[in-house]
Amino acid sequence: MKQTLTAGFPQPRWFRYLNKLWASTYPLGTKIKLDKDTLIRQARKTTGLTDLGIDFWDEPLHRMLGSMNDEAHLSPAGRFISSKRLVNLLGIRLRATEYFRRFPEILELELYPAWIIVGLQRTGTTKLHRLLSVDPGHRVIPSWEAINPVPFGEPRAVHSGQEQPAEKRIRIARNSVHAVKLISPGFFAVHPLAALEPEEDVLLLDISFMSTTTEAMMHVPSYSRWLESVDQTPAYTYYGKLLRLMQWLQPGKRWILKSPHHLEFLPLMDNLFPDVRFIWPHRSVGESIPSFLSMLTYNHMIFSEQVDPRKIAERWIRKTGYVLDRAMKFREEGDHSHKFLDILYSDLVADSLKELQKIYRQDGGLTSDLADRFIRHEREHPYRKHGVHRYSLADFGITATDLELRTAGYQCFLSSLHGRQS
């Protein structure tokens, strides 16, 4: 049954009308087909390439599409956006395979040391990520590169004197940002997008069709359950290959990566990098989780007109508890605690420079030049620049008790952390 959206999540009237009009033409054959063979055929035609690589595993894509078609209640616009996104992901894989074929030395590279921001959503991870990107020695992934990590056109060696132009990839990212502003104006108060700012590297895992991105955008419960049951090693192995390609194209000193997705798979990230440090921002789950649920609701509304905030909350509160339990288990078992640095959201918002000094303490300290860069960035990107994000547990029909039942272990840890840092 179609759910009524709450008043707190407005959608442009023109977008609703477009979907209604488009749906009325389905009997004429305008419904976009989402199936594996069609999407692969379109990607091959678009790129002129055929080889998806010997490590391409099609079951994740097959599972994802089955869930999207059967469970997501995609609107016409949602089907269109999904089709374009999936064809692009397959195209990235085709272009990457060509790079690896022509320049096999890429895969021999050792990954840079990494600082990986792994806090839950809405805990200051984006703020911290963008601050650390100011350091000129850091290799980050800007939004335009996260969307298209492999250049278009003929592969070129980095020492050829002909750098791969990024204009097309930047233009695509800017168009994507503009589209989100038109379709979901309130989204930017939740998560400000910018083509040139760093973005989450979970988008690299999308290219293996094994990430939480799709379930964050639409209702795909069977695909979500399958993802939790299957070994993610193939996706993280390919993720490492893409990072090697990206650092071959544009060198740096250290990777600065960020995604809450990695909390579920810390052992895989730990194994991937020769030198890794996990920076974990923390915030009360009573604040962070409702904020994240609000963002998810905005996401779902782009792809479907049948959005139930309560179902979103039920699914993601359970998943958040599951992810936190896995992360805490990794942290507490073995000799891993020294790899973590904890940051409190309230401290980051109150005095970000003080928190950055903690991060750089093991790296020889924060230089005056870097401190000036961070201060300038803060001045140019004030808190709540895009407006105030308003949300509450009541928007989702849940209570603090619902959060407590799923996140009790983490909340105990957080209480002790506050005690140690007070």
pLDDT of residue 161: 47
- End-to-end alpha carbon distance in the chain: 49
Query: Which range is least confidently modeled, 118-122, 167-171, 235-239, 418-422?
Result: 418-422
pLDDT of residue 107: 97
- Domain presence at residue 373: yes
Rounded CA gap, 312 and 396, in Å?
8
> How many angstroms separate the Cα of 195 from the Cα of each of 190, 209, 273, 409?
16, 23, 27, 37
- Side-chain-facing half-sphere of 184: CA atoms under 13 Å: 27
Q: What is the rounded average pLDDT of the residues 153-182?
A: 81
Q: What is the rounded average pLDDT of the residues 204-228?
A: 96
Predicted structure pTM score: 0.92
- Domain presence at residue 88: yes
Reply yes or no on whether the pLDDT at 390 is more than 70.
no
- Of the candidates 107, 375, 53, the residue with the CA atom closest to the CA atom of residue 240: 107
Q: What is the DSSP string of 5-20?
A: PPTTS---HHHHHHHH
Number of independent structural domains in the chain: 1
**Residue 268, Cβ density class (10 Å: 0-12 exposed, 13-18 middle, ≥19 buried):** middle
pLDDT of residue 112: 97
Mean pLDDT of the chain: 90
Range of the domain at 191: 13-152+163-421
**CATH number for the domain harbouring residue 365:** 3.40.50.300
Reply yes or no on whether the pLDDT at 163 is more than 80.
no
Which 8-state DSSP code applies to residue 262? G
* Residue 298: band (very low, low, confident or very high) from pLDDT cuts 50, 70, 90: confident
pLDDT, one tens digit per residue, over 241-270 is 999 999 999 999 999 999 999 999 999 999
- Domain presence at residue 8: no
- Domain presence at residue 352: yes
- Domain presence at residue 417: yes
Reply yes or no on whether the pLDDT at 9 is more than 50.
yes
Reply yes or no on whether the pLDDT at 160 is more than 60.
no
- Domain presence at residue 249: yes
Reply yes or no on whether the pLDDT at 11 is more than 80.
no
pLDDT, one tens digit per residue, over 342-371 is 999 999 999 999 999 999 998 888 999 999
Q: What is the rounded average pLDDT of the residues 397-407?
A: 86
pLDDT of residue 385: 54
- Domain presence at residue 2: no
Sequence-distant (6+) residues with CB within 8 A of 17 are none
- Domain presence at residue 184: yes
- Of the candidates 357, 362, 319, 320, the residue with the CA atom closest to the CA atom of residue 340: 362
Beta strands in 6-80, from DSSP E residues, in sequence order: none
**Residue 315, Cβ density class (10 Å: 0-12 exposed, 13-18 middle, ≥19 buried):** middle
pLDDT, one tens digit per residue, over 112-121 is 999 999 999 8
* Residue 8: band (very low, low, confident or very high) from pLDDT cuts 50, 70, 90: low
Reply yes or no on whether the pLDDT at 336 is more than 90.
no
Q: What is the rounded average pLDDT of the residues 37-59?
A: 96
* Residue 3: band (very low, low, confident or very high) from pLDDT cuts 50, 70, 90: very low
pLDDT of residue 1: 35
pLDDT of residue 142: 95
Query: CA Rg, the chain, in Å?
Result: 21
Reply yes or no on whether the pLDDT at 75 is more than 80.
yes
Rounded CA gap, 402 and 38, in Å?
42
